[in-house]
């Protein structure tokens, strides 16, 4: 008996699900995670499927997972458009998508949502090679270092996943990578953190690094913009016509 590779099996399941959903010709919903898709280990998260008001049922499941998320879905689709995960664990991480039912037909699947669990490994360190205050147009290099030989490095800004790098180099009995921000502008101002992971399990991340606050000169958050205001000289005094007459009479007397 031949064994089907997991990647090929996942691809076939996703393709069949997509073809089945497109028969309904209903627009796809939108799936989001509350409070966010980057979830600390053992924390609560809720997946929300946003479809039309006329939707009669919903399905929220892992991409490529042939089994329903729970036994309730084996009998009838969910009447609610949320899926609550009480404690985030490794097996709950991955890609999720959703669809809704209307008029006996199922919609297309939503774009996949990347649900990540953090806190699996020791935190890396994040530093800026040229300081944390940059001039507009400069190139800023952020260095993320891990004591473990991780092969995936992730950079976030203000809690949002912005980029990841799978190219790293050995450094001080660990590994490091460089994130390049170029050219720097006011949009790069914010709080950065980096995470590390393994390529074989890309949705399980480490603890976050200590925050790094990046500032850009000339923006409201940079020290150069907090210059003390110049004192304003009082306006010159201009007497009224009546006052001028009284002054002239006083001079004559």
| Residue reference for tokens 């980029």 | 163
Q: How far apart are CA 104 and CA 191, in angstroms?
A: 47
Q: What is the pLDDT of residues 218-245, one digit of tens each?
A: 876 544 444 443 333 334 444 554 544 3
CB-CB contact of 194 with 154 (8 Å): yes
Domains of the chain: 6-118 (2.60.40.10), 125-223 (2.60.40.10)
Q: Which string of b and e fits 194-222 if b means at least 16 CB within 10 Å? A: bbbbbeeebbbbbbbbeebebbbeeeeeb
| pLDDT tens digits along 124-160 | 999 999 889 999 999 999 999 999 999 999 999 999 9
Which pLDDT band, with edges at 50, 70 and 90, does 122 fall under?
Answer: very high
Taking Cα atoms as reference points, which of 143, 139, 137 lies closest to residue 125? 143
Q: Report the pLDDT value the prediction gives residue 240, as an integer from 0 to 100.
A: 52
pLDDT class of 166 with cuts at 50, 70, 90: confident
Residue 182, SS3?
Answer: coil
Query: Facing residues of 84 across strands?
Result: 46
Three-class SS state of 109: coil
User: How far apart are the C-alpha atoms of 71 and 179, rounded to whole Å?
Assistant: 44
Tell me the C-alpha distance between 199 and 205, whole Å.
11
Coil, strand or helix: which one is 124?
A: coil
Q: Considering just the CA atoms, what is the radius of gyration of the chain in Å?
A: 29
Closest to 31 measured CA to CA, from 54, 70, 73, 61: 61
- The pLDDT confidence band at residue 167, using thresholds 50, 70 and 90, is confident
Per-chain mean pLDDT for the chain: 80
The confidence score (pLDDT) of residue 104 equals 86
Q: Which two tokens stand for residue 76?
A: 């009838």
Please tell me the predicted confidence (pLDDT) of residue 69.
54
112 pLDDT higher than 60: yes
Per-residue confidence (pLDDT) for residue 229, from 0 to 100: 34
How much is the average pLDDT of 55-66?
87
Cα 239 from Cα 253, distance rounded (Å): 20
Q: What is the pLDDT of residues 203-218, one digit of tens each?
A: 999 999 999 999 999 8
């Amino acid at each position: 008996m031949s064994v089907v590779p997991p990647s090929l099996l996942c691809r076939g399941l996703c393709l069949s699900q997509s073809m089945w959903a497109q028969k309904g010709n209903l627009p796809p919903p939108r799936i989001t995670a509350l409070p966010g898709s980057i979830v600390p280990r053992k924390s609560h998260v809720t997946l929300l499927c946003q479809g039309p008001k006329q939707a009669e049922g919903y399905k929220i499941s892992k991409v490529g997972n042939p089994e329903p998320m729970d036994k309730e879905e084996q009998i009838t689709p969910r009447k609610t458009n949320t899926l609550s995960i009480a404690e985030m664990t490794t097996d709950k991480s991955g890609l999720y998508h959703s669809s809704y039912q209307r008029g006996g037909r199922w919609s297309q699947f939503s774009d996949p949502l990347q649900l990540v669990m953090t806190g699996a490994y020791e935190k890396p360190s994040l530093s800026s090679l040229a300081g944390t205050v940059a001039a507009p147009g400069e190139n800023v290099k952020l260095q993320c270092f891990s004591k473990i030989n991780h092969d995936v490095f992730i950079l976030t800004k203000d809690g949002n996943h912005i980029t990841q790098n799978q190219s790293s180099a050995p450094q001080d009995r660990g590994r490091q990578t460089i994130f390049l921000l170029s050219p720097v502008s006011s949009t790069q101002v914010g709080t950065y953190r980096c995470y590390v992971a393994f390529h074989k399990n890309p949705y399980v991340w480490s603890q976050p690094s200590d925050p790094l606050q990046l500032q850009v000169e000339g923006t409201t958050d940079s020290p150069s913009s907090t210059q003390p205001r110049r004192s304003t000289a009082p306006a010159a005094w201009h007497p009224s016509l009546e006052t001028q007459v009284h002054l002239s009479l006083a001079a004559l007397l």
